[in-house]
Amino acid sequence: MAAAHNLEMEEDVNLNRDREMKEMLQEEKLRADRAGKDPFRLKKVHRIVSKWMLPEPVRRTYLERANCLPPPVFIISISIAELAVFIYYAVWKPQKQWITLDSGILESPFIYSPEKREEAWRFISYMLVHAGVQHILGNLVMQLVLGIPLEMVHKGLRVGLVYLAGVIAGSLASSIFDPLKSLVGASGGVYALMGGYFMNVLVNFREMIPAFGIIRLLIIILIIVSDMGFALYRRFFVPANGSPVSFAAHIAGGFAGMSIGYTVFSCFDKALLKDPRFWIAIAAYLACVLFAVFFNIFLSPAN
């Protein structure tokens, strides 16, 4: 009797084990179907992204839970909006040339203009307007190439926080250090993404593939030099019939990225709101914002 009872229990255990195995296989199949027809290719993409965006200790965590849900909606939406606004002013507004736009954008309700600082939305909406083909292409390429992988890893809320922090820092810095000049372009947001990523590569240099790390730093420096060159040209060497545009947003956006952006991007596997570095960066950022608001109300030469 005991032997028969033990045999029945063993058969039940085997049946349960077989049932669990079948359920696990079905779950894996469903997961693969959701990932797409070729999940191995998708895993390869995530593996490449992890090597470029994350240090070694947290790559395994990312790969275990990597997915494209939600997709990088923020960066793609912002890029489409900026491109649409540029096409509107380049095609449907009268322009002498596409290389450098003047009359159309300077009358835009989106541009940051010192004389219209009371229209507070301009401190953010200026990111939608660009000064010419080189300007829009440079910003779009930089934010798509860097922003999409960042959003795949950190998701849209964190990337959006860093991007908009750079945009607001850019316009406020311009209102202080270049108070009589207009401002256009998404460079503040783009430089915030670059600043956060740059600091991550610098701090975790040995863990982010040294050879490629050097290449990445050189690429970032090359992009910054070329973009800053165009910005300086627009500011100091603009033709007599044109209108100079401030470049302070580039520097301020970069500093916002190196503080808030670095903190956000280095907290991949941690709760951001529980990291004291995040609150220190936010407190410093808000202090600068309050000073800029005070300056604009009481001390600005544009008053």
Residue 18 has pLDDT above 60, yes or no: no
In this structure, are residues 163 and 193 in contact, taking their beta carbons and an 8 Å threshold?
Answer: yes
Phi, psi of 163 (to 5 degrees): -60, -50
The H or E element that residue 198 is part of is helix 187-203
Residue 142 has pLDDT above 60, yes or no: yes
Q: What is the DSSP letter of 257?
A: I
Q: Where are the domains of the chain?
A: 70-299
The residue among 134 and 263 whose pLDDT is bigger is 263
Confidence of residue 5 (pLDDT cuts 50, 70, 90): very low
Q: What is the DSSP letter of 183?
A: B
Q: How many CA atoms lie within 13 A of 96 on its CB side?
A: 7
Could you give the percent of the chain with pLDDT greater than 90? 36
Bridge-partner residues for 210, per DSSP? none
CATH number, span 70-299 = 1.20.1540.10
Residue 79's nearest CA partner among 159, 141, 135, 133 is: 141
Residue 130's nearest CA partner among 181, 190, 182, 85 is: 85
Cα 105 to Cα 239: distance, rounded to the nearest angstrom: 16
Identify the residue whose tokens are 């494209």: 68
Question: Is 108 designated active site?
Answer: no
For the entire predicted model, the pTM comes to 0.80
Active-site annotation holder among 113, 125, 174, 187: 187
Question: Is 250 designated active site?
Answer: yes
Mean pLDDT computed over every residue of the chain: 80
**Using alpha carbons only, what angle is made at residue 91 by residues 85 and 96, rounded to the nearest 5 degrees?**
115
Cα 255 to Cα 297: distance, rounded to the nearest angstrom: 24
Residue 242 has pLDDT above 80, yes or no: no
**Using alpha carbons only, what angle is made at residue 6 by residues 5 and 8, rounded to the nearest 5 degrees?**
65
Active-site annotation holder among 46, 130, 135, 250: 250
pLDDT at site 123: 95
Residue 133 has pLDDT above 90, yes or no: no
DSSP-derived 3-state class of residue 260: helix
pLDDT at site 156: 93
